[in-house]
Amino acid sequence: MSQKIATKITAFFPPANLLPLLFAYLFDHVAVSTHWIFFSIWLNEDIIGANPGLQYPFLLLAVILATPSFLALFWNTLITSFSDKTGRRKEFMFFSKLLLTAQCLLLIFYGNSIVNVLLIYGAFGIHTVFYTLHSALITSICHPDRRGEVVSFQLIFASGGWMIGSGISGTIYNAFGMTGNLAFSAGFAIVAGILPLFSQSKPWFERKDIISQMREEMSPPEESKGSKEQQQTLENREKDNLPAVDSPKDSFIPIGDSYRIPELLTEVEQPKSKYWNIFSRRNIIILLVTLAIVDFGFGPFNVMASVYLKATGVPNNFIAISNTIATFIGMSLQLFIGKFSDRRGRRPLFLIGIFAYPILYGLTYLLSGYWVAVFLLYCYPLYALKVPSANAIMSDLTAENERARGMNLIQFEQTLSLNLGALLGCFLADVLPKGIMILPLMPTIFGVIAVILAFFIFQETHEKIVNRNKKS
């Protein structure tokens, strides 16, 4: 009895081989959240605000924050493709955090004008490839049946890091200004880059070694005993209700339910998919289009959330507190979301995660005159359901040697949709009479469209759930 309880408790903790990557994710989010929460306020007030004659200040703010993401699209695509071929994901992750450290330090010393900030941000925006490579590596070295749970572990550690960073960011900003925030970010970023170097690079098992061992077992050492030993092995497999292996060509390793998993194919059998082959799969197209619609509507808040909160009257300390509360709630939800996703499927969580956008921002628009209500609404963690379900879906639909490119498609979609939406939303805030107060309408309208699309078209991707539904 006590052993069963211990097993259940242990299931809530991540496997030891994932800890270097998970703690790297934690320190990365400490680094980013320490400066990002107040970065748009600093740009709007101290940099752009120093030039009062500008006609489109909000649009300029969006351009500054969107430029590095657009420039990073090409490099991220190149790096993820190269990492899939060479397997050198840890080294690129370390390099990306060095770039983030350099970016923070250069902003401290030279970020005193619009042009300098734009050049520094644009030159070092490639550091965002860290997230794509992290998701690709961690879902490759974990057990295939626990990917949804592992993605939740990612968000638990990310939420913990964001809580720490957001919790101290307001105090640092009030005491030392943006210089203090950037200095703290630089220190945590270098730690986040070093930790992945201690992670393993290959899956949780050695495919080749196990497959070779099975082939050796199928190949008898002596001709006289060969047929007898092979027959015995086949009989044992039949007793276990597992598919028989009668030749090396058909060898595979059953894990959990007896279905064939792409990761267990040999390198000769592994599909060498190009970006277009991955993108053209039906479920991937539906996933990316749905995410693109949601992210396009959310775009203005991706760069202007803190500015909007301040415009509604939320004090600086409460802006930081809202981020801390949201990440705590999101982190708590991840304790259960991963297991639910692995047992019940990805589709329910994905639909609920998308449905939250029009509800939350519709209420925000209606209650924008009451800063306490806006503060409370902003405490809901929008990412808590959408992000883990989307990442788990992409890992379901891609093989191990194409997963970095699959995750990069999500990163590509997010970068393009969020920043295009931000540009449109900020332009509307500059030209319309209500100004920045109209921003909640965009995620409300586009969120409704995404919900309709996902509800009627999107299908379940978790293979165990799909097979179970077929049998029933």
CA distance 394 to 385: 14
CA distance 21 to 26: 9
Region 431-445: mean pLDDT is 93
Question: Which has the closest alpha carbon to 39: 17, 18, 64, 16?
Answer: 64
The verdict on residue 338 lying in a domain is yes
- Give the list of residues 6+ apart from residue 348 with CB closer than 8 angstroms, or none: none
CA distance 242 to 236: 9
pLDDT confidence band for 266 (50 / 70 / 90): very low
Least confident of 217-226, 302-311, 323-332: 217-226
The verdict on residue 119 lying in a domain is yes
Output the CA torsion sign for 160, 194, 386, 103: positive
Looking at every residue in the chain, the average pLDDT score rounds to 79
Q: Provide the residue range defining the domain that includes 295.
A: 14-202+281-458
Secondary structure element (H or E) that encloses residue 291, with its range:
helix 282-311
Evaluate whether 390 touches 410 at the Cβ level (below 8 Å): yes
Question: Which has the closest alpha carbon to 266: 254, 252, 284?
Answer: 252
For 435, the token pair is 């100004």
Q: Classify residue 419 as exposed, middle or buried by CB count within 10 Å of its CB (0-12, 13-18, 19+).
A: buried
pLDDT confidence band for 233 (50 / 70 / 90): low
For 164, the token pair is 């720490």
In the predicted model, is pLDDT for residue 270 greater than 70? no
- Give the list of residues 6+ apart from residue 73 with CB closer than 8 angstroms, or none: 412, 415, 416
The verdict on residue 300 lying in a domain is yes
The verdict on residue 274 lying in a domain is no
In the predicted model, is pLDDT for residue 261 greater than 70? no
pLDDT confidence band for 450 (50 / 70 / 90): very high
In the predicted model, is pLDDT for residue 201 greater than 70? yes
Residue 246's pLDDT is what?
A: 41
- Give the list of residues 6+ apart from residue 80 with CB closer than 8 angstroms, or none: 129, 132, 133, 136, 404, 405, 407, 408
Estimate the crossing angle of helix 282-311 against helix 383-397, to 10 degrees.
Answer: 160
pTM: 0.70
The residue among 108 and 15 whose pLDDT is bigger is 108
Residue 365's pLDDT is what?
A: 94
In the predicted model, is pLDDT for residue 254 greater than 60? no
The verdict on residue 58 lying in a domain is yes
Give the number of domains in the chain. 1
The verdict on residue 212 lying in a domain is no
Residue 17's pLDDT is what?
A: 84
The residue among 359 and 201 whose pLDDT is bigger is 359
The verdict on residue 402 lying in a domain is yes
The verdict on residue 110 lying in a domain is yes
What are φ and ψ of residue 26, in 5° steps? -60, -50
At 310, which CATH number? 1.20.1250.20
Region 404-423: mean pLDDT is 86
Evaluate whether 68 touches 124 at the Cβ level (below 8 Å): yes
